Each structure stands twice: as C-alpha cells, then as structure tokens.
Structure 1
Amino acid sequence: MTKSILIINRAGPYADGRAKAALDMALSAAVFEQQVMLLYTGDAVFQLVQNQQADLIHRKSPSAALSALPLYGVEKVYVDQAALISRGLEEQALAVEAEILNSNEMSNLLESADVAFAL
C-alpha cells in the first residue's frame, strides 16, 4: 500500500544533521515506492540554494543529494513562499524545481498527506 509522506524541512543546511536526515528519509521512503513530498520552510530554504561552497566550512553541500531526488521518484518539492521572501531569496536561486506555496496551500498539503514528519 502506497502512502503519501510529507517531510517538512525546517533546519538550515549546515546547522546540524537534520537536513541530511530529511533527505535520507525521503530517499529511503522513495526506494520503497512511497509517494514522497518535501516541504522546505524557515532556514531550510537555504538547503535549496544553488552553487553553495560548503567545502569552505568543511561540510558537504546538499546539492548532490537534491539532484538525486528525481532518480528516486521524488518529484514533489515545495517551498514556503514567506520563508523565501523573508530571507531575500527568489525562485531562480533554487537548485531544484520546486512549487512555491503560500500558507493556505501549505495547510492543504499537510492535510492531504497520510504521514508527516517535521525535522
């Protein structure tokens, strides 16, 4: 039985291990043919910024894992519009194709998911 799984990313890319854990969870669920949706809100929107120079802080950029999402069948990536605006980011700065959602649309997304995880 396929479930729709919403993984809500709230942490910045290098603050702790939550960004990596969210991607690992998404890829693992996708391997088992679950419908995986990713929502980036708060500082997590910085995970999606292209051309990050993570090697300067001796960390891995999330770009490699993000580029693998379609290979695993994860095609639904959503971004909190207010988080982008408050951090001075535009959709063109993102390394992946994502649908920008307002607060009402995010509420609807959360209600539509069978399971939701917030990291």
Structure 2
Amino acid sequence: MAHSVCVISTRAPYHGQSAREALDTALVSASYDIETSFLLMGDGVYQLLKGQDAGQIPRKTISAMLQVLPLYGIDTIYVDQASLKERSITPDVLQEGVTVLAEGELPQFIQQHSRVFNF
C-alpha cells in the first residue's frame, strides 16, 4: 500500500474548530506530496452546501476554504451517501467537484489509505 492519508470530517462547519482542523490537516498532508483524500460524513456534509455565508460570525466561510484544496492536489472531495440521505440533502445542493460514495463503497475507500485522521 502506498503511503496515503484519508482525512474524515464529521462536524458541522461552524461547530467548534473541528471542521477547520480537518481541513488544515488535509492541506498539510497534501503539501508534503502525500496522496490525500478528504471525506465528509455525519454533520460534516453540511460543509458542502452552496451559498454559505459566515459573515455574522468571526470565521471564514468553510466552503471558500474548501475551494483551495485543488491547489494542493486534492481534486475531489468525497461525501458519504448515507449521511446525505439521513439529512435529506441531495447532491444538487452541494458544491462542485464532489464524489458521493455509496454505503458499500465506504469501508473499502477508507481501507485503501495507510493513515486515517477522524475529526
């Protein structure tokens, strides 16, 4: 197995620092030319909703930060289909460049990485 990292973000975008820490971890990993995947599950899927505006809180809009991932070689954001379904979210309301992983694909996807970080 080649050295690769999967960063899993499970928290809502503005609930504490977890979403930002997951994103920072993915960026640092990718900046060292390590194959890095970014996977959103649970409430983390809310990070992908279009039209976010964090102007009322002292934080940057997470969706804007996700858009820099391709600059670091992370071209695809993965999202758990079951998490979307549980929250009645359809893929058409998500940002561009998202790949939805079916429930059966998720374990194999995670296992193909040598390191997994869960936030």
**TM-score normalized with structure 1 length:** 0.92
What are the superposed Cα offsets for residues 44-65 of structure 1, whole Å, 9 maximum, x if unpaired? 0001111112112343211221
AA aligned opposite 1:23: L
- 1:95 is aligned to 95
SS, match of residue 105 in structure 2: helix
**TM-score normalized with structure 2 length:** 0.92
Q: Could you list the runs of 4 or more consecutive aligned residues of structure 1 that deviate by over 3 angstroms after TM superposition?
A: none
Instruction: State the Cα distance separating 1:91 from its structure 2 match.
Output: 1.0
Taking the aligned partners of 1:58 and 1:87, their CA distance within structure 2 comes to: 26
- 1:85 is aligned to 85
Taking the aligned partners of 2:96 and 2:40, their CA distance within structure 1 comes to: 12
SS, match of residue 79 in structure 1: strand
Give 1 or 2: higher helix fraction: 1
Structure 2, unaligned runs of 5 or more: none
- 1:54 is aligned to 54
SS, match of residue 5 in structure 2: strand
CA RMSD of aligned residues (A): 1.3
Instruction: State the Cα distance separating 1:90 from its structure 2 match.
Output: 1.3
Taking the aligned partners of 1:7 and 1:79, their CA distance within structure 2 comes to: 12
Instruction: State the Cα distance separating 1:88 from its structure 2 match.
Output: 1.7
Count of aligned positions: 118
SS, match of residue 54 in structure 1: coil
SS, match of residue 50 in structure 1: coil
Taking the aligned partners of 1:86 and 1:57, their CA distance within structure 2 comes to: 27
